[in-house]
Amino acid sequence: MQITEIFSSQLPVGETLSIKRSRFEPTKKYDSLKRISIVSGIHGDELEGQYAIYLLSSWLNKNKDAIRGIIDIYPAVNSLGIDSITRGFPLYEVDLNRAFPGAEHEYLPGQVVHALAQDVKGSDIAIDIHSSNIFLREIPQIRINKEYSNFTLPLAKELNCDFIWIHDAVTVLEATFSHTMNSMGTRTLVVEMGVGMRLTKEYGVQLLSGMLNLMQKEGIIQSREHFEAREPFLSEVGEVFYLNSPTSGLFVPALDHCAVIKKNDVIGTIVEPLTGEVLDTLYAPNGGILFTLREYPIVYEGSLLARIFGETDEKN
């Protein structure tokens, strides 16, 4: 394992900002090595990727002889943000995942994303691990832009996630890491799992198995271990139903995350602590799996409370 600083910048008072990469390579020489890059911490409040990457680097350290390709890991792209519980790039308040591809001559956040994109460039595969945000809990899922789904869907199925969400191309998303890397020829997947500012250990273990399975299939590792890859459900076979808050208040969920629900099941209530009133009761608009559930209870009108994946014509 070799640790490299892919970007550094001297901060004003006695500190250096540093973005680091670890590279794992085979102990022996092999021809035409494939390269995979695994990235996390583009958002400073998302930590699930830190744990999944820790598990991966720990496995690789114990299984050096299994390595047949180049495995680059970038655990903390927004390193200043991670250490200060800040989603965007501190001070600039810039969402780094809306700042790609960046440029050498841009402001500091633009320089950081440019350095990352240039370093990952040339990889055969990239995985960008996110944790939703502090507001929502998500089951392990892959988000795929329809524009690149022919190339990325087969890879996504190997990642041992529960759900693959193929979404339409949106212009604003062209400023993301995944779009930038896909347009540069690196097949890139976005993982969303868990919740911001927390670790969900079982999801980390689940994704580790998926990453190892994908690497095994792609010939980047060669191991006798069996890595689980569960069959994900695809967004194309059903529909995603959104439940936004009709009013502001305190959201109290009535169901557990990941529950299989029926149409009109109570998802939760919006309450007013000051008066003891129930302001609204939220019912499932459709049956299916509750794959997104509000974690942060303060809501405004419009705040996302839940997402359900179900069959469109489901009769309950």
Partner 1 sequence: MKKIEIAKITSLNRAPLIIEGYLFEGCDPEAPSIAVVGAMEGKNILPLYTASKLVDFLKNNISGKESIKGDILVIPSINHYALNINERFWPLDKTDINMMFPGYALGETTQRIAKKVFDVLQNYTHGIILENREDLSSCIPYVKLFQSGFEDLQGAKLFGFKLIHHKELTPINTVSLQYNWQLWGTKAYSIVCPNENQIDINSSHEIFEGIIQYLNKNRIIDYKVLNGFESTITTKEDVEIIKTPKSGIFIATKQIGSYVIKDEMIGKIVHSLNGEVIHRFFAPSNGMIVCGYKNALIFEDAVAFRIVKSGS
Residue placing its CB nearer to partner 1 in the complex, 102 or 238: 102
Residues of this chain, 91-130, that bind partner 1 according to CB under 8 A:
91-94, 98, 105, 107-108, 111
Residues of this chain, 215-234, that bind partner 1 according to CB under 8 A:
none
Cα–Cα distances (Å) from 165 to 95, 148, 264, in that order, read 22, 13, 24
Instruction: Evaluate whether 132 touches 46 at the Cβ level (below 8 Å).
Output: yes
160 to 179: interface string for partner 1, x by CB under 8 A:
-----------xxxxx----
Position 276 contacts partner 1 (CB under 8 A): no
Contact window for partner 1 (CB under 8 A) among 18-26, 152-160, 184-192, 300-308: 300-308
Position 308 contacts partner 1 (CB under 8 A): no
Position 88 contacts partner 1 (CB under 8 A): yes
Distance of CA 134 to the CA centre of its chain: 13
Residue placing its CB nearer to partner 1 in the complex, 38 or 305: 305
Contact window for partner 1 (CB under 8 A) among 257-265, 281-289, 296-304, 308-316: 296-304
The answer for residues whose C-beta is within 8 angstroms of residue 171's C-beta and 6 or more apart is: none
Q: How far apart are the first and last CA of the chain?
A: 54
Distance of CA 165 to the CA centre of its chain: 12
Instruction: Evaluate whether 178 touches 151 at the Cβ level (below 8 Å).
Output: no
Give the C-alpha separation, 117 to 99, whole Å. Answer: 11
Q: How far is the CB of 206 from partner 1 (least distance, A)?
A: 27
Instruction: Out of 69, 75, 249, 253, point to the residue binding partner 1 (CB under 8 A).
Output: 249
Give the C-alpha separation, 95 to 93, whole Å. Answer: 7
The answer for residues whose C-beta is within 8 angstroms of residue 226's C-beta and 6 or more apart is: none
Site size toward partner 1 (CB under 8 A) is: 40
For partner 1, the binding residues (CB under 8 A) are: 9-14, 17, 87-88, 91-94, 98, 105, 107-108, 111, 133, 135, 171-175, 242, 244, 247-250, 272-273, 298-304
